[in-house]
Amino acid sequence: MDDAGKRENGRHKPEQYKTAQTQRSMQHQPSMKQIMSIMAERDQAIQERNLALSEKKAAIVERYMAFHQRDMAIAERNNAILERDNAIANLQYRENSLSAGNISSCPPGCQVSRGTCILSSSKCVLHQL
């Protein structure tokens, strides 16, 4: 053995472990009041965490609802655009058909060989070209 308290194989003597254990047992033990105070602080921290999680969940729900409203507004806008585009296409088709002389947009009974027919208060008015 050498003088550093080690054996020749590199292990410490068991007496060194005994001194460390006695030092720990001699340390100040917390009182019941201190333990209760620590537990109260822990419980308060848990309550704050739970409140923060609840607020986060509520914010996520609100965000989801905002996304849903946005998506509904976009869908409504897209439907309005489609209706507008269909109406424009229908008007252009009628204009092209009238200028080609193929189809008349006059109500039944109104025959126009040349010109256009304008619907005004359910009357067929003939305009010559």
CB 125 within 8 Å of CB 107: no
Q: Report the pLDDT value the prediction gives residue 129, as an integer from 0 to 100.
A: 40
Q: Is the pLDDT of residue 109 over 60?
A: no
Q: Which long-range contacts (CB under 8 A, 24 or more apart) does 116-125 make?
A: none
> Band of the pLDDT at 125, cuts 50, 70, 90?
very low
Please report the pLDDT score of residue 27 as a whole number: 72
Please list the helix, strand and coil fractions of the chain in percent, rounded to the nearest 5, in that order. 65, 10, 30
Q: Report the distance separating Cα 104 and Cα 94, nearest Å.
A: 8
Residue of 51 and 6 predicted with greater confidence: 51
Report which DSSP code applies to 6.
Answer: B
pLDDT at 99: 84
Q: How many residues does the chain have?
A: 129
C-alpha dist (Å) from residue 111 to 9, 94, 105, 107: 121, 16, 10, 9
Q: CA–CA separation, 124 vs 122, rounded Å?
A: 7
42-68 pLDDT, tens digit each: 999 999 999 999 999 999 999 999 999
Give 91-105 pLDDT, tens digit per residue.
999 999 888 876 555
**pLDDT, position 128:** 42
**Predicted TM-score (pTM) of this structure:** 0.46
Predicted pLDDT of residue 100 = 81
Which single residue is written with the structure tokens 């917390």?
30
Confidence of residue 80 (pLDDT cuts 50, 70, 90): very high
The rounded distance, in Å, linking the Cα atoms of 49 and 51 is 5
